[in-house]
Amino acid sequence: MMLAPTLRIVADHLLTLPYRTWSFGDSVAFEGMAAASKVLGDDRWLQFARGFTRGWATRAEPYVRLDCTAPGLAMVQIYRATQDALVLNGAIGLADYLVTRPRIDGVFATWQSSPLQQPYGPQHLNDEEQALLDNPPPGVFIDCLHFDPPFFTALGAVTGKPELVEEGARQALGYVRLLQTKSGLFDHFVLEGSPRTYGPGWGRGQGWALLGLLDVLDELPPEHPCRQDLATAATRVIDAMVRLQRDDGHWYAVVDDPESGDETSTAAFMAAGMQRAAAASISGDDARAASRRALEAALRSTGRDGILGGVSAAVNACTNASHYAHVPRGFVVPWGQGPLALALAERLEDEGVAAR
């Protein structure tokens, strides 16, 4: 496939998706719109994102817990490109709300009552898991490493508020502390009061974590004391994923479980993240080569219509590990098209393709 024309088609699909203002997965889609406009020199995707976030900003209050999934980093990117004060003011109001939420070991709790569910697939919850489902405690989820920390650090940078930059860096380190395992991979979530974590090896979760870490690193000053620890966390997940990449460039749905089957969004996430890490000298040639294999794999899974096939539905959350191997697949969703747009934009930028 020709990369620039393919990016146009992929980005056009981002304009058609049913965004819920806001929900999980929106962030990477809106960032994909901004990236497509930047690399292709066509602002129509950026202007869609601007109009959408402008509309939200006029009616954002009262805020709700799910607003933590708003594309905050994309709002800052939109402001940087357009100087739209309404978008910036909406982002500032959102941040003012988000910092009031309760914390678990220093990290903002995603939910007051975590959205646990019965597992997909044939297994059943044991008594301990059923008790958690019946009365779910608050939790911290790896998806949100892509939401809060990059948003706070970018907004702090653009508004000259170092306290927001510090909050973003602390939050990112908190996710690493709570959810990155000895293998370098991230588990999906931790529940308040629980001595363990849940959801090991979820493929797309590694992508949320990696992009979030890189977004924070992009905004931190070079001398920031958290920079090395965050770069090390990014390198560790990249190294783990390079080792687990299949010969065809993809990863399993649960990356270390061949029985979990195929799922394609992980390749799109990793193509984008590993390319960025290599370009920033956070990782080296192995990551760049793995990124290229991942993008080739994602493109082989993309139809001529620009839709990435084989993407799983929203994973939600389950305390039974078997759940992650049985999530239904075959959905056209922001967390499929968004990372594919980002991966294509990263490759085009790396190759120095002129906007056209």
pLDDT tens per residue across all 356 residues of the chain = 699 999 999 999 999 999 989 999 999 999 999 999 999 999 999 999 999 999 999 999 999 999 999 999 999 999 999 999 999 999 999 999 999 999 999 999 998 899 999 999 999 999 999 999 999 999 999 999 999 999 999 999 999 999 999 999 999 999 999 999 999 999 999 999 999 999 999 999 999 999 999 999 999 999 999 999 999 999 999 999 999 999 999 999 999 999 999 999 999 999 999 999 999 999 999 999 999 999 999 999 999 999 999 999 999 999 999 999 999 999 999 999 999 999 999 999 998 854 44
For 27, phi then psi, to 5°, come to: -60, -50
- Nearest-angstrom CA–CA distance, 101 and 302: 39
At 356 the pLDDT is: 41
At 352 the pLDDT is: 81
Tell me the CA distances in angstroms from 150 to 56, 145, 240, one per residue in order: 20, 8, 23
Task: Using only the alpha carbons of the chain, give its radius of gyration.
Answer: 19
Amino acid 53 reads: T
- Nearest-angstrom CA–CA distance, 315 and 200: 13
Domain ranges of the chain: 3-348
- β-strand 262-263 against 251-252: which pairing, if any? antiparallel
- Around 188, how many Cα atoms within 13 Å sit in the side-chain half-sphere? 23
Token pair for 245 = 């990449």
At 354 the pLDDT is: 41
Which residues are CB-neighbours of 60 under 8 A, at least 6 positions away?
67, 90, 93, 94
Instruction: Give CATH for domain 3-348.
Output: 1.50.10.10
pTM exceeds 0.75 = yes
